[in-house]
Amino acid sequence: MRQLKLDSHGRAVRSPREPDTGGERETNGSVDAGRVLCCKELGGRREKPRLRRLSPCRYCDIVEAVCAAPVGGRCYRLSSGASNSLAIRESPPARHAWPENAFRSLSKGFVMKAAYIKGTGSPSRIIYGDLPKPKPVGKQVLVKVEAVSVNPIDTYLRSGMVKMDLPSPYIIGCDLAGEVVAAGPEAARFKKGDRVWGSNQGLLGRQGTFAQFAAVEEDWLYPIPPDVSAESAAAVALVGITAHLGLFRCAQLRDAERVFVSGGSGGVGSCVVQMAKATGAEVVTTASTPAKADICRQLGADHVIGLRQRNFAAALAELGPFHVWFETSRKIDFDRVVPMMTLGGRIVVMAGREARPRFPLGPFYVRDLKLFGFAMFNDPP
C-alpha cells in the first residue's frame, strides 16, 4: 500500500508523478472512520467543495460523495484501518449504475429510505438506508408506498438462487400498494391522489418496491377499491396477477370447465382456486398435509388430493379429464398430464426455468392441446 498525506482541508496530496493504480491505500490523517471522500476531495481543484447540490459520484455508487469535478473518475471510501490510520478503498464504477439524472439533487426532500442490496447473498446483505427518490418518466407514476408483501421470488433474487442481471444498488421486493404522488409526462391512467396496487417485479432493469417511493409503469398498476386496505391489496399483487393472467389471458377459462391446479394452498395456487371457483369451474387441487387440505376446501376447492396418498395417480385420473391444467410447481410430468386432458385442453406453466422435462409430442398434438408458458415480468397485465 502507498501512503497518502492529507492537507489541512482533509484532502489527499498525491505526487504528480505518482500513477493512479487504484487498490486500497492508507493514510495517517485524522479523518473520521466511516466518512466518504469523493474523488474531488482527494485532489480536487476547488479549495472548498460546494455542498449546495449533493449527489453520488457519477462514476461510483457512493451516495454521500460530492461529484462536481471528479479526478481520475473514481471515489474513495474510508474504512477502519490500523491504529491511528484509515484505509482508503477505491470504489470502481458500478456494473449497472443508477441513471445519472437520478442523482441530480439529493438535498432534503430528494432522498428516500429503501431496503436494497449491492450484491446477492444472505439476508445480511440487505441494507436499509438512503437512496435517490425516483422521478417518474414516460408513462411511469410515482407511488408513495404504504404496504408491500414478500414473495418467494424476492428471496430467490436476493440470494442469487435465480440468476438475473440486477442493477446495483438493487431495491428488493415486488409488490406494493400506495398513493400516486406524481405522474410522468405520458401517463394518463392515474393522477395524483389515486390509490393503486400492483407489482413492479424489480427485473429487466426495473427497481423493486421496498422503499418509501417507487416509480412504476402505469400499465402495471390497478386502482384499489374504496373498501380495500393497502395491506390487502399489496398481499395479492404478484400471486393474484399471475393467477389471473394464466387462467384468463392464457387458458381463457370458461364457466363449468374442470380445472386442476397444483398446490392449492400456496400463493399462486390459492388465487387460482378462488378465481376458478368464482368463474363457475370445478376445481381439483393437491395438498401435502391435512391442514393445507382444509385451507384448500375453505378457499372453494371441490376436490383435494393428498400428495402423499398411495393411490395419488389413480385418484387424480378418476377426477379428470381436465379442461385446464395450471402447474405452479417447478416440475411438470407431461407424460402424466397430457393423457388426462380433454380434447382442446390448455396447460399453463409459470415456474421452473431450469426444468427440462420429457415431452410426449404425439399424444399432445392429436388431442389439439395448447401449452402456455409465461413470466409476468416480461409483459404488463
Domains and CATH numbers, the chain: 1-93 (no CATH), 100-228 (3.90.180.10), 238-373 (3.90.180.10)
Name the packing angle between helices 230-244 and 267-279 (round to 10°).
Answer: 80
Instruction: Report CA torsion sign: 252, 258, 262, 267.
Output: positive
Q: What is the pLDDT of residue 109?
A: 60
Residue 273 and residue 247 in contact, taking contact as beta carbons nearer than 8 Å = no
Sheet with 86-91: list strands edge to edge. Answer: 12-13, 3-6, 24-27, 86-91, 75-80, 36-37
Contacts 24+ apart (CB under 8 A), 362-369: 363/338, 363/339, 364/334, 364/338, 367/338, 367/341, 367/342, 367/343, 368/343, 368/344, 369/338, 369/341, 369/344, 369/345
Contacts of 49 (CB under 8 A, 6+ apart): 38, 40, 41, 66, 68
Q: Grid coordinates representing 328?
A: 405452479
193: left (phi over 0), alpha (psi -120 to 50) or beta: left
Count H helices and E strands in the chain, helices first.
Answer: 7, 20
From the list 268, 162, 168, 159, the residue with the least C-alpha distance to 208 is 168
- The stretches in the chain having pLDDT less than 70 are 1-109, 202, 379-381
Helix (H, G, I), strand (E, B) or coil at 122: coil
Contacts of 17 (CB under 8 A, 6+ apart): none
Q: Grid coordinates representing 370?
A: 395448447
Q: What is the pLDDT of residue 345?
A: 97
Residue 172 and residue 117 in contact, taking contact as beta carbons nearer than 8 Å = yes
Looking at residue 28, its amino acid is: N
The model's pLDDT over 28-63, given as tens digits with 9 standing for 90+, comes to: 333 333 333 343 443 443 333 333 333 343 333 333
Q: What is the pLDDT of residue 262?
A: 95
Residue 129 and residue 61 in contact, taking contact as beta carbons nearer than 8 Å = no
